[in-house]
Amino acid sequence: MGYYKATATAHPNIAFIKYWGDLDPDLHIPSNGSISMNLRGLFSRTTVSFDPSVEQDQFSLDNRQIDGTGLVRVSNLLDRVRKMAGINTFASVESHNNFPAGTGIASSASGFAALSLAASKAAGLDFDEKALSRLARTGSGSACRSIPAGFVEWQAGGNDENSYAYSIASPEHWDLVDCIALVSQDEKLISSSEGHALTKTSLLHPARVADAPRRLAVCREAILTRDFDALAEVAELDSNLMHAVMITSSPPLLYWQPATVTIMKAVQSWRKGGLMVCYTVDAGPNVHVLCSRDVSGDIADRLEKLSGVQKVLVAHPGGPADLENG
Ligand code: PMV
């Protein structure tokens, strides 16, 4: 085969109903469905070149050559693509995030979404959105939600064919704003893959999973009807439930810093005071503060003044993973 190359971009996403725990850890078949919003303004841009002159897969992230687990995860996804395309050429993969590494924004979702689109295109495969979402899921579970546009639901399914994400509302449907309050820029010590595996040690995990269909229905409806109060209640409950599972795992995972709690308390008091604002926290100490567009400037200013907040990034609903010059 000749020399085939493609470049794709994808946004990270923030989950309102979260993925935490797998039925199948290899294929990332989740214990429960999840719902998220893509984050416009933040993106990964990835170029894949299948190149007969390279003797093994190569992966650079923000101009740094990556080996070890990082390279293995990329190679595993490339293996799936090679198998489907019937090729055995190695690839060089170059990826850049426009949000600096260490800002605490997970780049695995946008990174694996962009890699799936670029690699399948470069290998000559013409995947539809569902096939791309399934492929991205195998790289990092939450990456399947960075393929479709806007507000996205990942149906848990139960196997490789029926576990994928689709859009439930376009980015234009609701101008919800995510003000991301950064309190720490350190690499997290426990990866989400390790965290997913620990869920089975928490007494609370079965209860969290059993109620997930109800929370998904409330969240989906809140998005479709742009009902901020309903979204706020279910998103905070879902985040608290995931962290309750984390804290009660063995060994326990406590991702929060004192500043995380300061922000959560401030957000709750602002909402009591009448502002449309709520929080959700991923596997790290930073707080995603969701609010309506009209108050986002005020919220970002208030967050910046809180003790322990280093920086605030502001993101609006984002589009799908996209090919460049495609
Ligand atoms: O896709 P992973 O394995 O990085 O897991 C993501 C886990 C959370 O970000 C904590 C929740 C979610 O649904 O995005």
Read off the CATH number of the domain in which 238 is found. Answer: 3.30.70.890
Q: Burial of 21 by CB count in 10 Å (0-12 exposed, 13-18 middle, 19+ buried)? A: buried
Assess whether 203 and 72 both reside in one domain.
Answer: no
Please provide the DSSP assignment of 217-246 as one string: HHHHHHHHTT-HHHHHHHHHHHHHHHHHHH
Instruction: Find the 107 Cα to ligand 1 centroid distance in Å.
Output: 11
CB 165 within 8 A of CB 116: no
> 18 lies in a domain?
yes
* pLDDT tens-digit series, residues 179-213: 999 998 776 678 888 999 999 999 999 999 999 99
User: Percent of the chain scored above 70 by pLDDT?
Assistant: 97
Assess whether 277 and 166 both reside in one domain.
Answer: no
Strands (E), 156-204: 164-169, 176-182
**Tokens 């984050």, residue located:** 39
> 324 lies in a domain?
no
Assess whether 204 and 106 both reside in one domain.
Answer: no
Assess whether 138 and 219 both reside in one domain.
Answer: no
Helix (H, G, I), strand (E, B) or coil at 81: helix
> 90 lies in a domain?
yes
CB 10 within 8 A of CB 321: yes
pLDDT for the residue numbered 106: 72
> 326 lies in a domain?
no
Domain harbouring 9, CATH code: 3.30.230.10
> 125 lies in a domain?
yes
Assess whether 154 and 198 both reside in one domain.
Answer: no
Residue 69 has pLDDT above 80, yes or no: yes
Q: Burial of 67 by CB count in 10 Å (0-12 exposed, 13-18 middle, 19+ buried)? A: exposed
Instruction: Find the 1 Cα to ligand 1 centroid distance in Å.
Output: 37
Sign of the alpha-carbon dihedral angle for 30, 145, 309, 45: positive
Number of folded domains that form the chain: 2
pLDDT band at 315; cut points 50, 70, 90:
very high
Instruction: Find the 303 Cα to ligand 1 centroid distance in Å.
Output: 24
Assess whether 163 and 196 both reside in one domain.
Answer: no
Angle between helices 108-122 and 129-139 (to 10 degrees): 120
The amino acid at 99? F
> 325 lies in a domain?
no
CB 306 within 8 A of CB 259: yes
Assess whether 76 and 159 both reside in one domain.
Answer: yes
DSSP 154: E
Assess whether 99 and 228 both reside in one domain.
Answer: no
Please provide the DSSP assignment of 113-136 as one string: HHHHHHHHHHTT----HHHHHHHH
Residues with CB under 6 Å of ligand 1 are 15, 18-20, 34, 106, 108-109, 140-142, 192-193, 282-283
> 322 lies in a domain?
no
Domain boundary at 118, 139, 172, which?
172
Domain boundary at 111, 142, 172, which?
172
> 323 lies in a domain?
no
CB 317 within 8 A of CB 151: yes
* pLDDT tens-digit series, residues 145-164: 999 999 999 999 999 999 99
pLDDT for the residue numbered 103: 63
Domain boundary at 172, 200, 227, which?
172
The amino acid at 41? G
2-6, 286-290, 319-323, range with the lowest pLDDT: 2-6
Which atom of ligand 1 is found nearest the CA of 142? 1
* pLDDT tens-digit series, residues 24-45: 999 999 999 999 999 999 999 9
pLDDT for the residue numbered 1: 46
Assess whether 74 and 41 both reside in one domain.
Answer: yes
Which atom of ligand 1 is found nearest the CA of 196? 3
Helix (H, G, I), strand (E, B) or coil at 34: strand
Q: Which residues pair with 177 in a beta bridge?
A: 291
The amino acid at 87? I
Identify which of 11, 13, 17, 20 to mutate to test ligand 1's pocket (most ligand atoms within 8 A of the CB): 20
Assess whether 187 and 84 both reside in one domain.
Answer: no
- 51: domain range? 5-172
Assess whether 253 and 158 both reside in one domain.
Answer: no
Assess whether 159 and 18 both reside in one domain.
Answer: yes
